[in-house]
Structure 1
């Protein structure tokens, strides 16, 4: 079993090799819309998971990018075997990266929080937080 540091180094190398192979070996214009975001390798160096995003407007183009990766899996693995100096070439698994969607959702939540803060600020008006009377309910005696 390899150490985790070696697996990490191999994963970063696989990320670069797959990205370059997409650009040079795959003869399809849709490959330009695919970005390799990360790669992970098991500690035994037998399996690699490659994370990707497809920069496309609609779901049909994203599905086409996914199909492109799946149909070229063998060519990409062959390129890995050619460029890596390890005994066994790891198998490739492609997983769509969900980080861009999560980031967009987080940005939406932050935008809503800023709007709510602005609304509360406008409701506050000219209230003076140092005025003790401002925090008393009507009719409350001291």
Structure 2
């Protein structure tokens, strides 16, 4: 097993080489606006997965996938020449679904914003169904006849204070 840092460095280098080779050397007319988004190399450095996106409709995506599959040998030899490693990893091209997922998330967020705005419009003239402050508050203690609160002093017992406060009420 190779060092994970070496695998990451090789993946970055493969991504750079593949994208430059697609731009400069591959002249397949089926190849659309392809963007290499990521590359991942297995820990044994034997296989590399290259993720890409295509700008266009479904037919352009399918045509670009066929063009990349047919150009795999040229791209692998370019990777071998420019990296100088003993064993060149096999290249597998996978269409990246991140842009589609991002688009779906943006649509879901827009639907949530519209629902929030609709709820805010419905809430504008609304009032509470009950009292404005529905919580019970404790009854305010009234002072005793002599102007002192029903608080126990050091000499009095707590029971005496409770009896005195009940009788004052």
TM-score relative to the length of structure 2 = 0.74
CA-to-aligned-CA distance 1:34-80 (integer Å, 9 cap, x gap): 10000000011010000001111x21111000001000000000000
How far apart are the structure 1 equivalents of 2:10 and 2:129?
A: 62
The number of aligned residues is 133
Task: Give the superposed CA RMSD.
Answer: 1.8
The structure with the greater share of residues assigned to helix is 1
How far apart are the structure 2 equivalents of 1:35 and 1:63?
A: 14
Paired position in structure 2 for 1:123: 122
How far apart are the structure 1 equivalents of 2:74 and 2:95?
A: 19
How far apart are the structure 1 equivalents of 2:81 and 2:32?
A: 23
Residue 92 of structure 1: how far off its partner (Å): 0.3
How far apart are the structure 1 equivalents of 2:104 and 2:42?
A: 30
Runs of 4+ in 1 over 3 A off after TM superposition: 29-32
Paired position in structure 2 for 1:12: 12
How far apart are the structure 2 equivalents of 1:31 and 1:82?
A: 23
Moved more, 23-32 or 12-21: 23-32
Q: Which has the higher contact order (CA 8 A, sep 6+)?
A: 1
How far apart are the structure 2 equivalents of 1:71 and 1:115?
A: 46
Preserved CA contact (<8 Å) 1:23 1:31: no
TM-score relative to the length of structure 1 = 0.87
1:104 aligns with 2:100: no
Segments of 5+ residues of structure 1 without an aligned counterpart are 129-133
